[in-house]
């Protein structure tokens, strides 16, 4: 028996590129699009009063899961400006798009009053799980400015926040028998998503001038926040029998997601 709800992923932000070229003063600014917010996983509810029999590895009797969508990915931004005159100046800015926030996994509920038999490796009697989506990745922002007075700035987009895992509840008054290694009677788990990463060189800004009035600025993107694991509740009044190595009768776990990875700025010295 399979019951599953999966939230859609956030879209990818568009990239941006700009350039400016003038005999004296030049300006170029580009901003990458942000990744969009992902969809949430809906609530999943399963009730069984009959008989279920499966054979084969990972063939769970009841498989119930809700997964939040992954956050959208930010778009890269690149800009360049050149003030060609020896007295000219230029300003170039590139701002990478931010990763979108992920969706939460929905609540999962399983009620079993029947009989479940499984034959196979990792074939749990009941598998119930809620998973928050991972945060979207931020994009790089790069720039290059040329001129007597020049400023180049690159700003990396931050990673998006991850989704939370929701509550998982399993109630069993029936009979569950598994026959295989790592085949649990009841497996109940909630996992928070990992924070979005600011991928690549988060920010890279360079400035080159014929004089000494040039500035290069680079700012790496921030990591996205991690998600929380939800509450786990297992109520058992029936019978559970397992055979095989590592085959627990009841396994319940809630895990918070890991934080995202920040990007290292990639500065280039002003010349």
Tens of pLDDT, residue by residue over 134-165, are 988 888 888 888 777 788 888 888 888 999 99
Per the document, the length of the chain is 271
Q: For residue 270, name the pLDDT band (cuts at 50, 70, 90).
A: very low
Q: For residue 127, name the pLDDT band (cuts at 50, 70, 90).
A: very high
115-119/51-55 β-pairing:
parallel
More confident of the two residues 116 and 153? 116
**Out of 67-71, 74-78, 120-124, 247-251, least confident range:** 74-78
What's the whole-number mean pLDDT along residues 184-202? 80
Q: Is the pLDDT of residue 133 over 50?
A: yes
2-6/149-155 β-pairing:
unpaired
What's the whole-number mean pLDDT along residues 39-57? 97
Name the CA dihedral angle for 138, 15, 8, 61, rounded to a multiple of 10 degrees.
Answer: -60
Q: Is the pLDDT of residue 244 over 70?
A: yes
- Distance (Å, rounded) from C-alpha 102 to C-alpha 119? 36
Q: For residue 112, name the pLDDT band (cuts at 50, 70, 90).
A: very high
What's the whole-number mean pLDDT along residues 235-255? 97
Structure tokens at 151: 């400023």
Q: Is 212 left (phi over 0), alpha (psi -120 to 50) or beta?
A: alpha
Q: How is the chain split into domains, by residue range?
A: 61-100+125-166+196-221
What's the whole-number mean pLDDT along residues 67-92? 81
How many angstroms separate the Cα of 231 from the Cα of each of 135, 228, 257? 21, 10, 14
Per-residue confidence (pLDDT) for residue 84, from 0 to 100: 61
Per-residue confidence (pLDDT) for residue 207, from 0 to 100: 47
């Amino acid at each position: 028996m399979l019951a599953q709800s999966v939230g859609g992923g956030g879209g990818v932000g568009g990239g941006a590129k700009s350039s400016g070229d003038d005999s004296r003063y030049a300006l170029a600014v580009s901003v990458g699009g942000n990744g969009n917010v992902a969809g949430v996983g809906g609530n999943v509810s399963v009730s069984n009063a009959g008989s279920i029999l499966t054979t084969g590895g990972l063939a769970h009797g009841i498989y119930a899961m809700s997964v939040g969508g992954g956050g959208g990915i930010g778009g890269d931004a690149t800009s360049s400006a050149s003030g060609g005159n020896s007295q000219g100046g230029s300003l170039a800015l590139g701002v990478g798009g931010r990763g979108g926030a992920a969706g939460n996994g929905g609540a999962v509920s399983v009620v079993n009053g029947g009989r479940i038999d499984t034959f196979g490796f990792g074939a749990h009697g009941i598998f119930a799980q809620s998973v928050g989506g991972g945060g979207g990745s931020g994009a790089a922002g790069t720039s290059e400015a040329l001129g007597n007075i020049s400023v180049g700035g690159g700003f990396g987009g931050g990673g998006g926040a991850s989704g939370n895992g929701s509550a998982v509840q399993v109630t069993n008054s029936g009979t569950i028998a598994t026959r295989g290694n790592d085949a649990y009677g009841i497996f109940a788990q909630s996992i928070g998503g990992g924070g979005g990463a600011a991928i690549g060189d988060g920010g890279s800004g360079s400035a080159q001038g014929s004089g000494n009035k040039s500035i290069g600025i680079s700012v790496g993107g921030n990591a996205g926040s991690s998600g929380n694991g939800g509450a786990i509740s297992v109520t058992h009044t029936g019978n559970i029998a397992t055979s095989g190595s590592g085959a627990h009768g009841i396994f319940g776990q809630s895990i918070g997601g890991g934080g995202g990875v920040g990007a290292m700025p990639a500065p280039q010295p002003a010349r």
